[in-house]
Amino acid sequence: MNNKPHIVVIGGGSTGCGIARDLAMRGLEVTLVEQGNLTHGTTGRMHGLLHSGGRYAVADQIAAEECIDENRILRDIASHCVEMTGGLFVKRPEDTEEYFQKKLEGCKECNIPAEVLSAEEAREIEPYLARDIDKAIKVPDGAIDPFRLCVANAASAEEHGARIETHAPVVDILKEDGEVVGVEVEHETGPGKRVHREPGTREEIHADYVVNATGAWAGRIGEMAGLEQEIAVRPGKGVMTIMNTRQVDTVVNRCKPKGDADIVVPHETTAILGTTDVEVDDPEDYPEEQWEVDLMIDTLSELVPILKEARTIRSFWGVRPLYEPPDTGTSDSTDITRRYFLLDHENRDNVKGMTSIVGGKFTTYRLMAEEISDHVCEKFGIDAECETADVPLPGSEDFTILDDYMEQYGIRSPIGRRSTQRLGSRTDEVLDIDGPNPTVCECEAVTRAEIKDGIEGSGSDLNAVRLRTRASMGNCQGAFCCHRMAAELYDEYDEPIAYDAWDELYQERWKGERHALWGTQLSQAALKYSLHATTMNRDKDAATTDAVVDFAAFDSGTAAGAAGGAAGTAATDGGRTGDD
């Protein structure tokens, strides 16, 4: 088959990356375009919960069943992205017994393993649960790293011949005779990996079919395609607050119908509190408010009281790409279904050549990808099996963690363990570098080798390196490693690029840190400010500001003075006095 259909997938979140992988594995030619980094949209802004389906077991059983099936598959194909922490639905005295029983029955109806625990049994698992809880239901919730998962999907797609273009926002949908025939993108820094200071270019990418997997941004693509009927995505913002440590090792849910601030997810070295649900007009421009952060801490400390006094390191907001079919008219956005919908614009809008996938959840990304890939293959009469449920992602191939990795690569064991967990079956390939492999990010135990691997994968974009490696995501929020990460760029990229990337990373970290500025974290932020502004003088750096520096007006040292006032006389004792 010489003429493989070429499919353009718009959107580099979990769904888009999943579709790109699926279609590429089925032998189609695929180009994925993403406006920012992979996970730039909602995928990169979620709490990292691998749903058991328990949360939907009462209100949305179809979604719940999909969750538990996909939960089992991801544990298998994405083992290096998943930590099976288990989850609890905790009932407080003020929560109804009726709902507790409904939750339990719902789980059973959806084949979600569920077990009732007494308060004592629940506290044996999670000692910091409040003293006055009634009981809990234990379910197989887990934690998943959305960045690692997306990158692994994209890497797999590339292995199967796909082209992945990040930082390439779609500026137009190309149409001929009313049919979608491709997209026009604006490469922020030219095609390929993002490299600061390279000029932007535009490119028309022609396609046999276009898949719109842009989540909360789907409506914009719809507009560009000139669809008569709006794609009515209803973006709902939600806050997530990151704690300095894992106050819990199990996903802790509040067992009540719905509400804000009802979940704590342990994630790597942190715990993430979530969330709120407020409908917004624009997925990129909405207020990030103090009350939302306060609500997380105040409400969730009813479940886990130590959260009240604990240190938060940052907060971030995500936008759910909720969708409801026209004329449903749900007034409260928290009631909108979490299911996904496939909109074939040929049937819906009489525009051939494009399908949108909207709604859905991160946990079921693979299933959504499978369904839309089936749909695309059917368009072209291709009979190819979906393999994504069985073939492990890069990093999750058959792999046994070898203790001697640490010795082999000369890494102290806690650091080696963290690296191995992140890299999975890629450990060998990544850690085997020439020369010393010092630790770059101490909070998250990231060594030079991982940083270099991240740079290889994502160009000079240190925020993308951060997402791949977790460097700068720990307690100090990059105070001690933003500059080190920039220094790792230098070999491959020149000085202005490294400093641009450094400044961009530093500012991105501040964006979330500022929501956690009280107590210890304000002290930490002041230390970071002191290190980067007082010690390094990066805030007034003459090389990157418009400063006018008259070097001759400043002290030129005593050695030069002694030699007659002219700086630059080659006195061998330089500026030293009195030390020999």
Instruction: Determine the size of the site formed for other proteins (CB under 8 A).
Output: 89
Contacts (CB under 8 A) with other proteins, residues 154-183: none
Under 8 Å CB-to-CB from 327, ≥6 apart: which residues? none
Q: Position 432: which residue type?
A: D
565 touches other proteins (CB under 8 A): no
Contacts (CB under 8 A) with other proteins, residues 446-475: 447-448
Q: Give the phi and the psi of residue 188 in degrees, each rounded to 5.
A: -60, -40
Expressed in angstroms, the distance from the first to the final Cα of the chain is 81
Q: Which is nearer to other proteins, 202 or 514 (CB)?
A: 514
What are the beta bridge partners of residue 359? 340
Please choose, out of 212-220, 230-238, 395-403, 547-555, the segment that lies near other proteins by the rule CB under 8 A.
547-555
Build a one-symbol-per-residue string for 274-313: x at contacts with other proteins by CB under 8 A, - elsewhere.
----------------x---x--x----------------
Shortest distance (Å) from residue 47 CB to other proteins = 21
Q: Which two tokens stand for residue 480?
A: 């001690």
CA distance 8 to 424: 30
Shortest distance (Å) from residue 340 CB to other proteins = 35
Contacts (CB under 8 A) with other proteins, residues 473-492: 480-481, 483-484, 486-488, 490-491
93 touches other proteins (CB under 8 A): no
507 touches other proteins (CB under 8 A): yes
Shortest distance (Å) from residue 309 CB to other proteins = 9
Contacts (CB under 8 A) with other proteins, residues 422-441: 435-440
Shortest distance (Å) from residue 432 CB to other proteins = 13
Please choose, out of 94-102, 216-224, 317-325, 544-552, the segment that lies near other proteins by the rule CB under 8 A.
544-552
Q: Which is nearer to other proteins, 268 or 292 (CB)?
A: 292
549 touches other proteins (CB under 8 A): yes
Please choose, out of 66-74, 190-198, 214-222, 559-567, the segment that lies near other proteins by the rule CB under 8 A.
559-567
Contacts (CB under 8 A) with other proteins, residues 97-126: none
**Half-sphere exposure at residue 506, Cβ-oriented, CA atoms within 13 angstroms:** 22
Under 8 Å CB-to-CB from 11, ≥6 apart: which residues? 32, 34, 41, 212, 213, 214, 215, 217
Angle of helix 146-159 relative to helix 462-469, nearest 10 degrees? 100
244 touches other proteins (CB under 8 A): no
564 touches other proteins (CB under 8 A): no
Q: Where are the beta strands (DSSP E) in 82-162?
A: 82-83, 87-91, 115-118, 135-139, 142-144
The rounded Cα 273 to chain-centroid distance in angstroms is 16
Q: Find the binder of other proteins among 64, 376, 499, 500 (CB under 8 A).
A: 499
197 touches other proteins (CB under 8 A): no
Contacts (CB under 8 A) with other proteins, residues 200-229: none
- Is the backbone peptide bond immediately before 275 cis, with ω within 30 degrees of 0? yes
Q: Which two tokens stand for residue 412?
A: 């102290």
527 touches other proteins (CB under 8 A): yes
What are the beta bridge partners of residue 271? 266
Query: Strand, helix or coil at 97?
Result: helix
CA angle 34, 40, 41 (to 5 degrees): 95
